[in-house]
Amino acid sequence: MLDYRMETFFTVCQTMNFTHAAQRLHLTQPAVSHQIQQLEELYQVKLFENHGKKLTLTPAGRALQSAAVTMRHDSLLLAQQLRQIDGGARQMIFGATLTAGPYAILPPLLRYLQANPQLNLRLVIADTTDLLTQIEQGKIDFAVVEGFFPKKEYEAIPYARETFVAVCAQDYVFHRSVETVEDLLEERLLVREKGSGTRSILETYLHSRNLMLEDFPHWAEVNSILMLKQMACAGCGVTFLYETAVQEELQNGLLRRVPLRDFSLAHDFSFVWRRGSVFSAHYRQIFEDFCALR
């Protein structure tokens, strides 16, 4: 467990309100203020500033917040590992995005489970934003993501570099001759939900072309890659996905690539965990094991 004062600091960071933090911790507001003051005296820095009624972290406070998240996560994993030493089953708890999970991680994961029959596994499939939040909350140990993440907060190892492609139904008829991304603006865009790595990568690319998703007048947002592919196969529009996610449909002739002369994009699938974690070597070993089983 973290020092009780660090738990208090962590809660204040979440609520950015001393009164709300006190209610969540079942403490009085003066008790919360006193514990924060103790931390400030211990580290000889100011952790919070008041701007009117708004509470903000100082630069030192932000640095301690990052460390507190890592320490809290490590504390939870340590408790889990101690239970294993005391006779509990070995566990692995991690997350993967909707693309990385079934298309990049599943084959080596199946072999990993076969090689470790006593392992208890919990795999969480979610978008990149949700997975990073779950790492911070200590709900999962690490994640395999394809989206963007703050490099200052997380250590990462590239697992695979995947090509991003535009696809449509084999018999899809475009409104005009298509050579560039701008030529697709008359088509319906099939896109993942906000927070997904796939959508973030597409949005970043469009911004580099001075475009936004809103420039497509017709669109459909779906939080399922399977449904997105089915809609594309049915001719409902054009979508951008990793080639590994549509490889089978391309081979079977259900989908075809849309050749765009101004579109060439690849992105890493990465193992990520909290920077500074005392379990970094443990996560790196899992990464090595997965790579050996690919």
Beta bridge partners of 265: 164
Structure tokens at 122: 């919990």
201 and 245, same domain (yes or no): yes
10 and 93, same domain (yes or no): no
Residue ending a domain, choose from 60, 80, 100: 80
CATH code of 120's domain: 3.40.190.10
Question: What percent of the chain is helix, strand and coil (3-state, nearest 5)?
Answer: 45, 20, 30
CATH code of 27's domain: 1.10.10.10
236 and 246, same domain (yes or no): yes
Structure tokens at 220: 């459909």
Both ends of the chain: CA-CA distance in Å?
Answer: 37
Residue ending a domain, choose from 48, 80, 112: 80
Q: Residue 231's closest CA among 206, 249, 213, 217?
A: 249
127 and 225, same domain (yes or no): no
The domain tally of the chain equals: 3
125 and 195, same domain (yes or no): no
Residue range 126-164, pLDDT digits in tens: 988 899 988 887 789 899 998 788 888 899 999 999 999
Q: What's the full length of the chain, in residues? A: 294
106 and 246, same domain (yes or no): no
165 and 154, same domain (yes or no): no
H helices present in the chain, as ranges: 4-15, 18-25, 29-43, 59-85, 100, 106-115, 128-136, 197-208, 225-233, 243-251, 280-292
Range of the domain at 115: 89-159+268-292
Computed on alpha carbons and rounded to an integer, the radius of gyration of the chain in Å comes to: 23
201 and 185, same domain (yes or no): yes
The whole-number pLDDT of residue 89 equals: 58
107 and 174, same domain (yes or no): no
244 and 165, same domain (yes or no): yes
Residue 180: phi and psi, rounded to 5, are -130, 170
226 and 262, same domain (yes or no): yes
Q: Residue 238's closest CA among 191, 200, 194?
A: 191
Query: Residues in the chain with pLDDT < 50?
Result: none
273 and 148, same domain (yes or no): yes
Beta bridge partners of 92: 121
